[in-house]
Structure formats: structure tokens, C-alpha cells
Chain A
Amino acid sequence: MKTRDVAVNGLIKENAVFRMLLGLCSILALSNKAINGLGMGVAVTFVLVCSNVVISLLKRVVPNKVRIPCYVLVIATFVTVVELLIKYLSAKSSAIAQIGDAMGVFLPLIVVNCIILARAEAFASKNTVGASAIDGLFVGMGYTIGLTLLGIVRELLGSGSIFGLQILGGFRITFFSQPAGAFITYGLLICLFNITYEKIEQNNANRKRKASVTLSNQVTEEGAVNG
């Protein structure tokens, strides 16, 4: 499994937020501010990498029949680790305490976030420890980037700021900070992402068709650029 493939897959092709549409609850709830999205993304990435590694390690030990309960157990353990960590850090820094408060119930709910179980079942249970760690990292990063992006858009429109920094003066449309704004912004962004993705795919296909006529060394160059 090539690292580059895993990266492209996790970040773009199977982006959890825009392509796979997984973990919707936390995407919608934590995208009200960019910092909340980033915090949630980091928490999910941590759980994803850890559980992928452990599940990959256990893949020969765990009997097939009880694999799902085992995965859930591992995931729940790491979610609890994150909960304990955030509680610990909240006592030290009020910035983390605020993100922790915003995450609230969605922190324990990482357990039932479909992304993590999906990666465990589809990737970690079939691949090596190293590859699983990299997969977890990139899928998590794809989720974090998507969630933060949505958070930036909603925070900019809803509060006129990005990461708490006022940039639009007094301008804001509070609608975007509210639940209804979450649904609509997310729906429109997915639509936009789909259009862009399709365009890129088409371009790639066109280029490949053209490139196949020209010299073969140019093909490899183009391929590297496109990736």
C-alpha cells in the first residue's frame, strides 16, 4: 500500500466530511466555530490513529465472530482516554476548557462515529500496523480539514470572525451559527465539493488521454503533478 495512495484517499477521494458523509452529528454540531471543528478533528484523529494501530495489531488474535465488540471496546477505550485528557487539560487552560465544553456530549459520541469503525473494518483489520497508522492519520486529517473548513465558513458568516479573530467588522449573519445554518451550509459545500471533484476528475481523464499519445516520460511527470 503506497503512502501516497493512502494520503490521496484519506484527504480527498474518500474525504470523511465531503465524500463519505460519515460522522455527521459532530460535523454539524462542532462546525459553528473554526476552533471547535479543529478541536474535534484532532480528537477524532487521535482516536482513529490509536484504534487503527491497536486493531491492526490484534487482527490475528481476535476471532472473527467477536471482532466488532472488540473494535468497539478498543475505540471506546481511546475515546475515554481523550475524555480524561481533555478533563485534565481543561483544569489547566481555559482555552481547552472552552473547546471541551463545546464538544460536550459529542466527545463520548466519538465511539459511535462511523468513520472510526469503518476504518477499523475496511483498513486496519487487513493491513500492517504502519499502514494502518498512516491511514488513520490521513483519514483523520481529511476529517479535520473538512470540519475546520466548514467551521471557518460558518464562523466567518455567522460571527464575522475566523478562529475568534474579528475580520469583518460588525458584519455577521447569525443564521449561520444556528442549527439551520449548519445544515444548509454543509449541504451547499458538499454540492460545491462534488462539482469541483468532478471537474478535476474530468481534467485528469482528459490529460491522461492526451498524454498517452505523447512521450511516455511526460506521462509520469504529469501523473506526479496531478497527484
Chain B
Amino acid sequence: MNDKVRESIKTICILVAITIICVALLAILNDVLYVAPDMDSFDRTAKSKSGYTLVEQNVKMTNGIVKMVAEGEMLNGEAVVGLYVEGKGSSPAGSFTLVVIIHKATGEILGVRKLVDGGDVGYEYLDDNLRSLMGTVIDGSTVFDSDNFVVQAGATYSTKACRNAMQAVAEYYYINYLQGGQE
């Protein structure tokens, strides 16, 4: 009996020890592989729509319909606006869903991440093109007219859907932050 008790105590100790080592290892790694909070929350919100408040739906754009423009807050809501946009192009392209982060005060685009490219499989708007949008400062509602937007040859439908989404972003920011600020 005594041996049995000692045996089980030993078993439990080993189990606890392994657990502690594993958790400690992960805690250290979690610190080492720390991702800056803005990118972290950006990634998390990019994966789910939760955290956003729906502000407008079915915004008619000059180039089609943008299904949803929603706003969420990042960096404690002080500096950045996160937008979840679903743009539509002309047939046969489907919707194009983006998360865009804009600096609230300056209007600079800090981040663009593609969630869904509903365009034809194999003809998708490239990430490098999307990334080239970063750094653009939204100073009017028509920043993304055709001269200012990389049209990707062979993926024109996706390009169009993406541009519609970006235009909605610009329009949204312009109406709510630029105009609103001036009044």
C-alpha cells in the first residue's frame, strides 16, 4: 500500500513537472515571438468579423455595389480605423473582402489585408499590388481613381472588385473623418 501511494505521488509529480516545463517553454516563446499589438489585433479581426460595428450596408458606388462597410477600432481606438469591406466587381467576379487600417488623424493607409478574392481561381489580385496601396494618404474621396490603382493584367475582374472596395474605404473615410472634421 505504501509503495502504491509512493508510486502514485511519483506519477503525479512527473506529470506536474512535464506540464510546468511545457507551459514555461510556451510562456517564454510567447514572449520571444511577440507580435506587436496592432498587427496582432489586425490579424485577429481580419479572421473574423466580430469586433466590428456595422455602420453601413449596401453602399452604392460608381462602379458597383459595396456590400458592407464596417468600422472597428484598433490601437485602443485612438489612432487607427479598421474597415471591413466587401467589394463587388462586374460579373463574373465575386466579392472581394478586405480589412483596411487607416490612421485616424492623417488618413494614411497603414495596412491592407485580403480576406477573400472571389475572382476566378488563378486570376487573383496579387498581394504585392495590394501592399503598394499602403502608405497612400486619403485626402479626398477619389484617391483611387484608375490612374492611381495598379490594374493587374489578367486579373481585371478582381482588380475592379478590389478597387471598388478601396474606393468605398476612401469615400467612407472622407465622409466620416475629413468632412466631419471640417464641419
Q: Which residues from chain A sit less than 8 Å from chain B, CB to CB?
A: 58, 61-63, 65-66, 69-70, 73-74, 76-77, 80-81, 84-85, 87-88, 90-91, 94-95, 97-98, 101, 104, 158-161, 166, 172, 174, 177
Known: A63-B7, A65-B11. 12 other contacts (CB 8 A): A63-B14, A66-B15, A77-B25, A84-B30, A87-B33, A87-B35, A88-B35, A91-B35, A91-B39, A91-B43, A161-B122, A166-B122
Secondary structure class of chain B's binding surface, majority of residues: helix
Q: Are A81 and B26 in contact (CB under 8 A)?
A: yes
Is B1 among interface residues, defined by CB-CB distance under 8 A? Answer: no
Q: Are B33 and A85 in contact (CB under 8 A)?
A: yes
Question: Can you list 5 A-B pairs, Cβ within 8 angstroms, ordered by A?
Answer: A62-B18, A69-B15, A73-B22, A95-B127, A101-B47
What is the size category of the interface that chain B forms with chain A?
20 to 34
A174 to B43, CA, bound (A): 29
Q: Known contacts A81-B29, A161-B122: does B43 contact A87 (CB below 8 Å)? A: yes
Q: Known contacts A158-B121, A166-B122: does B15 contact A91 (CB below 8 Å)? A: no
Q: Which residues of A contact B47 (CB under 8 A)?
A: 101, 104
What's the nearest-Cβ distance from chain B to residue A87, in Å? 6
A197 to B79, CA, bound (A): 61
Q: Known contacts A85-B33, A101-B47, A160-B122: does B22 contact A77 (CB below 8 Å)? A: yes
Is B49 among interface residues, defined by CB-CB distance under 8 A? Answer: no
Q: Known contacts A73-B22, A74-B22, A91-B39: does B127 contact A62 (CB below 8 Å)? A: no
Q: Which residues of A contact B5 (CB under 8 A)?
A: none
Partner of B121, one of A85, A98, A177: A177
CB neighbors of A among B6-57 (8 A):
7, 10-11, 14-15, 18-19, 22, 25-26, 29-30, 33-36, 39-40, 43, 47
Q: Which residues of A contact B39 (CB under 8 A)?
A: 91
What's the nearest-Cβ distance from chain A to residue B113, in Å? 8
| Closest residue on chain B to residue A93 by CB atoms | B127
A18 to B25, CA, bound (A): 35
What's the nearest-Cβ distance from chain B to residue A71, in Å? 10
Q: Which residues of B contact A91 (CB under 8 A)?
A: 35-36, 39-40, 43
A81 to B22, CA, bound (A): 10
Q: Are B121 and A159 in contact (CB under 8 A)?
A: yes
A177 to B131, CA, bound (A): 27
Q: Are A174 and B26 in contact (CB under 8 A)?
A: no
Q: Which residues of B contact A159 (CB under 8 A)?
A: 121-122
Q: Are A90 and B18 in contact (CB under 8 A)?
A: no
Contact with A along B114-125 (1 / 0, CB 8 A): 000000011000
| Closest residue on chain B to residue A77 by CB atoms | B22
| Closest residue on chain A to residue B17 by CB atoms | A61
